Amino acid sequence: MMTKTEDLFSRITGQLHKVVVGQEEVLRLIIVAFFARGHVLLEGVPGIAKTLIGRTLAATLDLKFRRIQFTLDLMPSDIIGTNIFDTKSGEFVLKRGPVFTDILLADEINRTPPKTQSALLEAMEERQVTIDGERQDLGEYFTVLATQNPIEYEGTYALPEAQVDRFLFKVLIDYPEESDEIEILKRYNTGENLHMVARDELQPVVSREDIKEVRAEVGSVKVEEKILAYITQIVKATRNAESLILGASPRAGIALLLASKVLAASYGRDFVIPDDVKQLSKPALRHRIITRPEAEVEGITPDSIIDQLMLRTEVPR
């Protein structure tokens, strides 16, 4: 018999595949992050459905959805809102920005300068914003799905380290498999527009009560001390790697722990195993480490460094 988490993962994935062709691992990671109360940074070249994936996930959940197109001239107040003087009442009235939602799609987040990007720092960490000294809560479901183009693309800005660290996962989206790309062409050839389907035709398959139940089920997943030690050793190893300027923070270990519990529950288990940690190590760590310039010249990537560190870290029995 399927657990609640297994059932929900199956239903959400099935709904997503009505629009998104392939990308199974990407979709699983995004769902894991959502139930772990985490934000996701999706990186890939233009035209590979980053925005479509974010919109489609929101359409499957019974939650509010807003989208912000990040541009060069976007201001922090355009994101969080501001107080505006009402001439009729003679008082200032809060005009809420698009950040007041459940699922926020921050599209091409690295096409706006760091000052504006930083407007999301408090929101992502504390699920609140402060406007003119007044705290405004965003709610327990507030989740940022941000898309960005690779940093070497023209017109992009590097995200501040403090903001990058607030993403639970950085998920790399590659070109689809040939068979998936053919399927995409087939759908458009028959007149189907996947963006229109995501916007107008998909119905929510998950309620707020479902989300609460799954998060409660995830909370009861057991993690043995040897798994906690395994996570700690992996994170600490990044701080001693010669090819890195900066290793992962304690927040990385927390992210790896919470996400591993969700992943275990999605497979129908009430306990975490080392393979859960291994499967999530790259998306949880790749954006929290900084490679030395000389290592980058040699073609060494964050993912290859994580692979080496995982090989050197003893796996608990």
Average pLDDT over residues 274-279: 96
pTM: 0.89
Question: What residue ranges of the chain are covered by domains with CATH 3.40.50.300?
Answer: 1-211
Distances (CA, A) of 157 to 112, 255, 290: 7, 25, 16
CA pair distance 131, 46, nearest whole angstrom: 34
CA pair distance 211, 205, nearest whole angstrom: 11
For residue 151, the model assigns a pLDDT of 65
Among candidates 159, 170, 259, 249, which has minimal Cα distance to 218? 259
Q: Given 3-state DSSP classes, what are the helix, strand and coil percentages for the chain, each rounded to the nearest 5?
A: 50, 20, 35
Q: For tokens 């590097």, what's the residue?
A: 158
Average pLDDT over residues 115-131: 86
CB contact at 8 A, 145 and 40: yes
CATH tag for 1-211 (out of 3.40.50.1820, 2.120.10.30, 3.40.50.300, 3.40.50.1000) = 3.40.50.300
Comparing 278 with 196, the larger pLDDT belongs to: 278
CA pair distance 168, 172, nearest whole angstrom: 13
For residue 163, the model assigns a pLDDT of 85
CA pair distance 202, 207, nearest whole angstrom: 14
Among candidates 148, 136, 147, which has minimal Cα distance to 99? 136
**Cβ atoms within 10 Å, residue 47:** 8
CA pair distance 31, 37, nearest whole angstrom: 10
H runs (alpha helix) in 136-246: 161-164, 178-189, 194-200, 208-219, 225-239
Q: Which two tokens stand for residue 4?
A: 């609640």
For residue 152, the model assigns a pLDDT of 58
Q: Which two tokens stand for residue 290?
A: 């900084």
Is pLDDT at 283 greater than 90 in this prediction?
A: yes
**Percentage of the chain lying above the pLDDT 90 cut:** 39
CA pair distance 88, 154, nearest whole angstrom: 46
Q: What is the DSSP string of 94-108?
A: EEE-TTSSSEEEEET
Is pLDDT at 180 greater than 90 in this prediction?
A: no
How buried is residue 19: exposed, middle or buried, by Cβ count under 10 Å (0-12/13-18/19+)?
buried
Q: Tens digit of pLDDT for each residue in 234-245?
A: 999 999 888 888
Q: Tens digit of pLDDT for each residue in 290-312?
A: 888 887 788 888 999 999 999 99
Q: Tens digit of pLDDT for each residue in 6-56?
A: 989 999 998 888 888 888 899 999 999 999 999 999 988 777 777 788 788
Q: Tens digit of pLDDT for each residue in 128-172?
A: 988 888 888 998 999 999 988 776 566 677 787 888 899 999 999
Q: Tens digit of pLDDT for each residue in 54-79?
A: 788 888 888 888 889 988 888 888 88
Write the class of the CATH domain 220-317: mainly alpha
Question: What residue ranges of the chain are covered by domains with CATH 1.10.8.80?
Answer: 220-317
For residue 206, the model assigns a pLDDT of 87
Task: Indicate the pLDDT class of residue 83, thresholds 50, 70 and 90.
Answer: confident
Q: Tens digit of pLDDT for each residue in 194-235?
A: 777 767 677 888 888 999 999 999 999 999 999 999 999 999
Angle (CA) 163-109-104 rounded to 5° is 85
